[in-house]
Amino acid sequence: MGAPADAQTASRSKQRPFWKELPLLVAIALVVAFLIKTFLFQAFSIPSVSMQNTLQRGDRVLVDKLTPWFGSEPERGEVVVFHDPSDWLDGEPVPERNAVQNALSAIGLMPSANEKDLIKRVIAVGGDTVECRGNGPVEVNGKALDEPYIFPGNTPCGDKPFGPVTVPAGKLWVMGDHRQKSSDSRYHQNDPKTHGFVPVSDVVGRAVVVAWPVTRWSTLPVPDTFGQPGIGDQGKR
């Protein structure tokens, strides 16, 4: 049997109008977005051409921030976002934003503009020996890298040969895919603080997806060359 008519009427009268529920729903959505940005994923806007053609200036990527919480560290071949380790961005302009954009950035609905972060590809990890002579190729622990992701017309290191250098424990050697337009580890070897290496503790997370614009949607897998046999045999070159 149905509820008495007066009970149904009373129940409907107690229901709050949608416009009264809306502020609560918005607040919940903002909290969820903040938690996602803090613990799961964060948007990052590509600020330069240093990762072309893999990433274009203005692309938005999603950065996985969850995996590091479980002790995972960056691996060779991954594209990672990291905090500026030692004024690598000194002199670079920071885009100005209004209050609304800053609020959206704080909860992860827009890429952060306040933090000076960079995005590069991990070439070598702690314990690896890495070098590049002449026009290349780049070698990691004596294994030559096949790098089809390098910007067309670039050489692996023709503008800045280096090495051999051994990456300290807890550090990374990073390079941009647009080698002749990337101020990466090669150009900071004389820095007394970092010597060109990026501390693992400065890594925000791994870029896993190009999310915007939709016409460029794609994942960012680790290239096959970083899985070749023997590349992890440290101490060899």
Please give the Cα distance from 172 to 184 (Å, whole number). Answer: 11
**121: which strand partners?**
79, 175
Residue of 118, 119, 117, 121 lying closest to 175 (CA atoms): 121
Annotation says 120 is catalytic: yes
Which residue in the list 45, 65, 112, 120 is annotated as catalytic? 120
Which residue in the list 45, 50, 105, 112 is annotated as catalytic? 50
Annotation says 13 is catalytic: no
- Separation of CA 56 from chain center: 14
The beta strand positions in 29-89, using DSSP E, are 41-45, 60-64, 79-83
Supply the DSSP symbol for 90.
T
The beta strand positions in 85-223, using DSSP E, are 117-125, 129-132, 138-140, 143-144, 162-166, 171-175, 198-199, 203-212, 218-219
Q: Give just the sign of the alpha carbon dihedral 96, 59, 225, 136.
A: negative
- What are the catalytic residues? 50, 120
